[in-house]
């Protein structure tokens, strides 16, 4: 039996919001102290506190996770022998007691890492804990893991969500169709063609930027204005080409390359977007990754002067670009983009939403 020793007393629960740096530091600490490496086998293996045969927890127990963890922590404090299978020293015991202190920031981060909460039924929480791999690599945690945990910690209460949704819906009341669509979960490699007037455009850009920030907190949201490109370059609308869009996107993504004469700007942009995704992937093959967002506004500054075939070619070459990044196109009116020559099919599974037409 592990001796009881002196039990760490947790500090008062802080109401301060978590930062990326704090979450990263706490995950490193939880991993280095062996909390992540101990809790999983404790939950999985027979003969531990969590084994139903020990009499603490029933088979398929529906008790809230918070209650179960408090019972486990109390058993550790009392020095119960059934809890010591993977805790081999006094220091490890103290570390676990400290990490599981009710309301502690360590416990909050730990539960968010497993994607569970104090209210999660034990039968579900145990599966989540047992299903998370133990990390021994020096680069743990990766960017995607920290961002995911931080996102879970920032989730508002049901009442707060209801109030925020009402306020948000009112704020975007000028673009209700697009707003309602963007409230739903967006798939990877999202492609949208959105119709909104010039008066509605500022709200549309604000909404897209806000949604992107939620889904991909630190990924760039790049805005390319076709009308401005035409004005700055002097190219005639009917001669407008896809490469002009992606040269501008590369310039926004990395200003140091502004004067570089890209031969294949789309391929370079895709390459950089894929690089960014890999760098921000989580700590598993299914880990979360960040996707760059590209908003192409005022497409109709070019398409309004094009033949249907030219529209098809521009749309086909712009939107049929793969899944490395999210792409959002904007036109001010359905009447200013002729999709009659098959351009609709050329959108390659993009969703079209007309706010006014």
Q: In this structure, what CATH number is given to the domain that contains residue 254?
A: 3.40.50.300
- From 115, 130, 153, give the residue that closes a domain: 153
d(CA 269, CA 253) in angstroms, rounded, equals 9
* Same domain, residue pair 197 and 297: yes
Evaluate whether residue 301 is within a structural domain: yes
* Same domain, residue pair 171 and 149: no
* Same domain, residue pair 144 and 175: no
* Same domain, residue pair 147 and 173: no
* Same domain, residue pair 223 and 170: yes
Evaluate whether residue 147 is within a structural domain: yes
What would the mean pLDDT of 272-285 be, rounded to a whole number? Answer: 74
The position carrying tokens 């009710």 is 102
Evaluate whether residue 5 is within a structural domain: no
Evaluate whether residue 15 is within a structural domain: no
* Same domain, residue pair 143 and 174: no
Residues 7-23: tens digit of each pLDDT: 444 444 456 789 999 99
d(CA 191, CA 327) in angstroms, rounded, equals 5
Question: 348 falls in which pLDDT band (50, 70, 90)?
Answer: low
* Same domain, residue pair 238 and 303: yes
Residues 140-195: tens digit of each pLDDT: 888 888 988 998 888 776 677 788 889 999 999 999 999 999 887 666 678 899 99
Evaluate whether residue 278 is within a structural domain: yes
Residue 212 belongs to what domain range?
A: 165-354
Evaluate whether residue 204 is within a structural domain: yes
Q: Number of folded domains in the chain?
A: 2
What would the mean pLDDT of 312-337 be, rounded to a whole number? Answer: 87
* Same domain, residue pair 87 and 53: yes
* Same domain, residue pair 126 and 196: no
Two tokens, residue 332: 């001010």
Question: 341 falls in which pLDDT band (50, 70, 90)?
Answer: low
Evaluate whether residue 284 is within a structural domain: yes
Residue 199 or 48, more confident: 199
* Mean pLDDT (the chain, rounded): 85
Q: What is the pTM of this model?
A: 0.60
Evaluate whether residue 11 is within a structural domain: no
Residue 5 in 3-state DSSP? coil
Helix spans in 186-322 (H):
201-215, 226-233, 242-253, 265-279, 300-303, 308-319
* Same domain, residue pair 133 and 189: no
């Amino acid at each position: 039996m592990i001796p009881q020793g002196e039990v760490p007393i947790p500090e008062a629960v802080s109401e301060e919001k978590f930062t990326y740096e704090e979450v990263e530091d706490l995950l490193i600490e939880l991993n280095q102290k062996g909390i992540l490496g101990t809790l999983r086998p404790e939950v999985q293996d027979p003969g531990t506190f969590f084994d139903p045969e020990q009499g603490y927890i029933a088979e398929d127990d529906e008790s809230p996770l918070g209650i179960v963890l408090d019972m486990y922590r109390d058993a550790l404090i009392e020095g119960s022998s059934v809890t010591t299978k993977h805790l081999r020293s006094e220091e490890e015991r103290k570390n676990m007691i400290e990490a599981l202190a009710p309301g502690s920031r360590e416990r909050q981060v730990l539960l968010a890492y497993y994607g569970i909460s104090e209210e999660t039924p034990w039968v579900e929480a145990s599966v989540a804990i047992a299903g998370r791999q133990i990390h021994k690599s020096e680069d743990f945690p990766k960017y995607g893991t920290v961002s995911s945990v931080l996102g879970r910690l920032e989730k508002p209460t049901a009442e707060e969500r209801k109030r925020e949704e009402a306020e948000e819906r009112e704020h975007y009341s000028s673009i209700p169709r697009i707003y309602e669509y963007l409230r739903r979960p967006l798939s990877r490699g999202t492609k949208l063609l959105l119709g909104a007037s010039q008066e509605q455009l500022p709200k549309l850009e604000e909404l897209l930027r806000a949604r992107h920030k939620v889904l991909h907190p630190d990924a760039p949201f790049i805005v390319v204005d076709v009308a401005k490109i035409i004005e700055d370059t002097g190219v005639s609308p009917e001669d407008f080409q896809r490469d002009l869009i992606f040269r501008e996107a590369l310039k926004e993504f990395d200003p140091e390359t502004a004067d570089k004469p890209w031969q294949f700007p789309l391929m370079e942009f895709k390459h950089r977007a894929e690089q960014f995704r890999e760098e921000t992937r989580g700590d598993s093959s299914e880990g979360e990754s960040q996707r760059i967002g590209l908003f192409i506004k005022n497409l109709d500054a070019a398409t309004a002067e094009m033949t249907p075939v030219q529209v098809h070619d521009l749309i086909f070459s712009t939107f049929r670009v793969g899944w490395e990044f999210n792409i959002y196109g904007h036109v001010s009116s359905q009447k200013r983009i002729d999709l009659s020559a098959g351009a609709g099919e050329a959108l390659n599974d993009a969703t079209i939403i007309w706010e006014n037409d």
